[in-house]
Amino acid sequence: MTLINLLPHREQKRIQRRKDFYTTAGLSFVAAVLIVFAVGVVIDGYISNQTERNNFIKAENLKLDEQIKEIASLKQEIDTLKARQLAVEDLQGDRNLPVHLLDELVKQTPEGIYYQSIRQDNMRVTLVGLAQSNERVSELLRNLGNQSAWLGSPDLVEIKIAASGKDGRRLSQFTLNVSIKRPENKDAVPAASTKTPSPVAAGPGK
């Protein structure tokens, strides 16, 4: 006996396919939402970690900036102390400058030169004196310019004929400037002489 299905099976299959489609679409949507959420959570985690690292780096940079400021302040204090130390050393050295000045004048002044006045202005000295001849003045300039460890840069301001000396010889009056200098190697410079200046260098003599 042949069975004939008179039910609308095609319509039922269509309805079933539609249900399956909606079910699959719903599941796909839910899966997509879950995936997007999971990816968002992972990305947020990465961003949070990177933000923490950036904040840590910023905090460390601030600490380094403070340390750099402290180091700069220490360097400035060290430079200030060095400058004070140099100033003190210069002052201590300058206390002996008049001694070295007079000692060098005694050693570098040739015979026939008589000083009338010696005036010091800071590191510059003005010498006024009498000479038996212009050659004596030239010899004094050479000695001060080439042979002195404490004096240098002599500059002749003027030289003129003065009155005659006791022996009838005509004298020349000169004015010159000379600079006081500090030797680069002070240990190699002999101590200032304590001998009494000769009458030739000290003033009008015998």
Domain that holds residue 110: 97-202
Residue-wise pLDDT for 5-14, tens only, equals 555 667 778 8
pLDDT at site 147? 78
Rounded to two decimals, the pTM is 0.46
Residue-wise pLDDT for 144-197, tens only, equals 888 777 888 888 898 888 766 566 678 888 999 988 877 665 544 444 443 434
**Position 194 in a domain:** yes
Sheet holding 170-180, edge to edge: 113-121, 124-131, 170-180, 151-164
Residue type, 190: P
pLDDT at site 197? 40
Q: At residue 48, does pLDDT exceed 60?
A: yes
Query: What secondary structure, in 3-state letters, does 77-131 show?
Result: HHHHHHHHHHHHHHHHHHCCHHHHHHHHHHHHCCCCEEEEEEEEECCEEEEEEEE
Q: Are 154 and 144 in contact (CB under 8 A)?
A: yes
pLDDT at site 193? 42
The band of 78, judged by pLDDT with boundaries at 50, 70 and 90, is: very high
Residue-wise pLDDT for 96-150, tens only, equals 777 878 888 888 888 888 889 989 888 888 999 998 888 899 999 988 888 777 8
Nearest of 113, 116, 128 to residue 176 by alpha carbon = 128
Same domain assignment for residues 127 and 192:
yes
Q: What is the mean pLDDT of the chain?
A: 80
The band of 3, judged by pLDDT with boundaries at 50, 70 and 90, is: low
Distance of alpha carbon 36 from alpha carbon 40, whole angstroms:
6
Same domain assignment for residues 103 and 90:
no
Same domain assignment for residues 111 and 197:
yes
**Position 2 in a domain:** no
pLDDT at site 165? 58
pLDDT at site 171? 86
Look up tokens 């403070």; give the residue. 66
Residues 79-91, mean pLDDT to the nearest whole number: 83
CATH of the domain at 129: 3.30.1360.100
Chain centroid to CA 91: how far? 22
Q: At residue 205, does pLDDT exceed 60?
A: no
Distance of alpha carbon 19 from alpha carbon 135, whole angstroms:
131
Same domain assignment for residues 89 and 130:
no
